[in-house]
Amino acid sequence: MPYQPPSTQRVLMGYSLCLHFFYFLFFCFRRLQRRVTEMATRKSKAGGTEWDVNTPPDSPFITDPALAEGFSIPMEYVRRMEEAQRLYAVHDAEQQAVAYAYRRASWTVGIQCGWLGIGVWLTVRGYRYADPVQSFASGFTSNRVLCRAFTPVAMLGLTITMLTSLQLPFDVRATLVARKARELEEMRKVEALKERAAAFREGRAIVDQLKEEERLAFETGMEEAEKLSK
């Protein structure tokens, strides 16, 4: 049986189904991009909370009283250490959420680049090897360039390339925002650790100063007692 090219109605139906499928993919990628952007830019309300050292939270981070007393520093500095540990935990949780968003955005960008390559390949393939007789523009023009460009395979490739090119900048922007947010949370974690270490050093310095004053006062008292005994 000789080869019979498909009818124009079937070609249009196939092209319409492919177009609706890629519109569905485009819609899914848009929702994913919005979700990633929200996760990357969302800030926790607890991240900027400041606790008063005189009114600590109901559930202190250092729950063991013996451990808190073992620091040998004033209790207000222990509370500052607890505050720093709380902030570290908050920023660590936020960093994990942002890192997950960054991974999702990176995968999305990779998938979009793959679809872009497929679209370009289909466009070139359709333009080179498709039959101009099956072109959608064959009934309106006899130009071979236009007829090859409007064949079903070439049009499918152009549609994929166009949709991917429209979506790709948003995905790249979401990836950059998520990476910047992840680096910011890492810096905040480092600052929380530095604050905890600074609070401990200040408390130890005060304790050492008090011990030194007690030693000097004891030595002065002993010298005065020796003078009075003579």
- Say what the pLDDT of residue 176 is: 92
DSSP class of 7? P
47 domain-assigned: no
- Say what the pLDDT of residue 58 is: 42
29 domain-assigned: no
20 domain-assigned: no
- Say what the pLDDT of residue 20 is: 58
- Say what the pLDDT of residue 85 is: 86
* Structural domain containing residue 116: 74-229
Helices (H) and strands (E) in the chain, counts: 5, 0
Contact call for residues 112 and 167 (beta carbons, < 8 A): yes
Q: What is the DSSP string of 9-24?
A: HHHHHHHHHHHHHHHH
- Say what the pLDDT of residue 35 is: 64
152's tokens: 């079903």
What distance in Å separates the CA atoms of residue 207 and residue 121, rounded to the nearest whole number?
73
187 domain-assigned: yes
- Say what the pLDDT of residue 15 is: 56
Number of domains in the chain: 1
- Say what the pLDDT of residue 202 is: 86
26 domain-assigned: no
40 domain-assigned: no
In degrees rounded to 5, what are phi and psi of residue 105?
-65, -40
181 domain-assigned: yes
Per-residue pLDDT tens digits of the chain, which is 230 residues long: 444 444 455 555 555 556 556 666 666 666 665 665 565 455 444 444 444 444 444 444 554 555 555 557 777 888 888 888 888 888 888 889 999 989 998 998 999 899 999 888 888 888 887 777 767 766 776 777 777 777 888 888 888 889 889 988 988 998 999 999 999 999 999 898 888 888 888 888 888 888 888 877 777 877 777 777 76
Which of 107, 103, 51, 109 lies closest to 81, judged by CA? 51
Residue with structure tokens 């939270």?
57
182 domain-assigned: yes
Burial class, 83, CB count within 10 angstroms (exposed 0-12 / middle 13-18 / buried 19+): buried
Which CATH number fits the domain that encloses residue 140? 1.10.287
Which pTM does this prediction carry?
Answer: 0.58
Tell me which amino acid residue 30 is: R
